[in-house]
A = this chain, B = another copy of it.
Amino acid sequence: MDRTDPEGAIAEAAKRYSNWGRWGDDDVLGTLNFLDDTKRAEAAGLVRRGTAFSLAQSFDADGPQRGWRRRTNPVHTMLDTGLDAERGQGFPHGLGGADDVIFMPLQASTQWDGLGHIFDHGRAWNGRRAGDVVTSEGDRVTGIETTGARLAGRGVLLDVGRAIGVDGELPDGFAITTEHIEATVAAQGDSARVGRGDLVCVRTGRLSRARREGWGDYAGGPSPGLSFTTAGWLHGSEIAGIATDTWGFEVRPNEFDDAFQPLHQIAIPHIGLFIGELWDLDALAADCAADGRYDFWLTAVPLPVTGAVGAPVHPIAVK
């Protein structure tokens, strides 16, 4: 890989790994096409104990956002409170109520990138013009609501932090390659095999560190993450989605001298892949390490905000 030529590398990867047209010109689902009812029915069979794990970070003002591109942390305010109720709110027969409101960037906390989130040279998923897809009215073609109920199926945890890292964590700037992925699968055993339609959760340990040391530059700063060179694996594995415990999915700093999130530029508009960010995989990872089973039933259906290019989600793994 030539560090000085992101344009060239991106162009080549775009050519090799494009799924444009694979599911017809009107497709809005990308890799969700790999996740069908049959896969979903099989995945439900993974539930044994019935234990459910939340894979979400919290949604509140104490999050990692620092204002980059106007992304703040969620601001939750009350329209009515218990204090108001005690004082009297004008309702009959002693009824009292509390109510609330939120303002937040849709990618402030645990979320999926929609297919309208990233463009390559003005082109969105399936070759559409970016401006034909996402205007000030939102994503009118591939808005997150088009994913419907599909983001539920087999989840596989790849705990790269535990398999490859030190004390379960990869250092900042660590680029996870296909070899690292394969080594992790091998170390974890049969239940960690990745196949068509799977929803892959990659744990780097970056969040564990943020939890211990404070957010710092968690949002946008140095971080372990996927190498640009995994584009081929992301394409060839035919997975439906992939999520990490980091802000930006890819290794940071990126692997070119002057670059910004080049793997996104392949994965979203060309592969049509759903990328999850800011997930919390720690509790699930501890359980998987304990019982040796790395696959599970995963429901990770985003909030259906019409026209959203990204959307908050509370992913739930059940083993």
Contact = CB atoms under 8 A, between A and B. Distances in A.
B149 A316 contact: yes
A102 B305 contact: yes
Nearest to A105: B101
A66 to B, nearest CB: 9
Nearest to A59: B305
Q: How large is the interface on A (under 10, 10 to 19, 20 to 34, 35 or more residues)?
A: 35 or more
A193 interface: no
A38 B130 CA distance: 48
Contact of A150 (B52, B101, B131): B52
B299 A303 contact: no
Contacts of A305: 59-60, 74, 76, 100, 102
Contacts of A135: 78, 81-84, 87
A111 to B, nearest CB: 11
B99 A117 contact: yes
A120 B95 CA distance: 5
A84 to B, nearest CB: 5
A107 to B, nearest CB: 7
Contacts of A96: 118-122, 130
A136 B58 contact: no
Nearest to A41: B50
A138 interface: yes
A101 B75 contact: yes
Q: Which residue, of A36, A78, A121, A305, has the highest number of chain B Cβ atoms within 10 A?
A: A78
Nearest to A258: B92
Contacts of A122: 82, 85-86, 94, 96
A54 B151 CA distance: 11
Q: Which residue, of A78, A82, A107, A152, has the highest number of chain B Cβ atoms within 10 A?
A: A82
A117 B97 contact: yes
Contacts of A133: 82
Contacts of A59: 303-306
Interface stretch (A162-170, A177-185, A217-225, A260-268): A260-268
A134 to B, nearest CB: 4
Interface string A144-175: 01001110100000000000000000000000
25 contacts: A37-B51, A54-B301, A61-B67, A70-B75, A76-B305, A76-B307, A76-B308, A77-B136, A81-B84, A81-B131, A82-B131, A82-B135, A83-B135, A83-B136, A91-B260, A92-B260, A93-B259, A94-B121, A96-B122, A98-B117, A98-B139, A102-B102, A102-B104, A102-B308, A303-B314
Given A76-B308, A83-B131, A100-B305, 6 more contacts: A54-B148, A71-B99, A72-B72, A79-B136, A83-B84, A83-B134
User: Which 6 residue pairs spanning A and B have beta carbons closest together?
Assistant: A41-B50, A82-B130, A40-B50, A44-B47, A96-B119, A82-B134
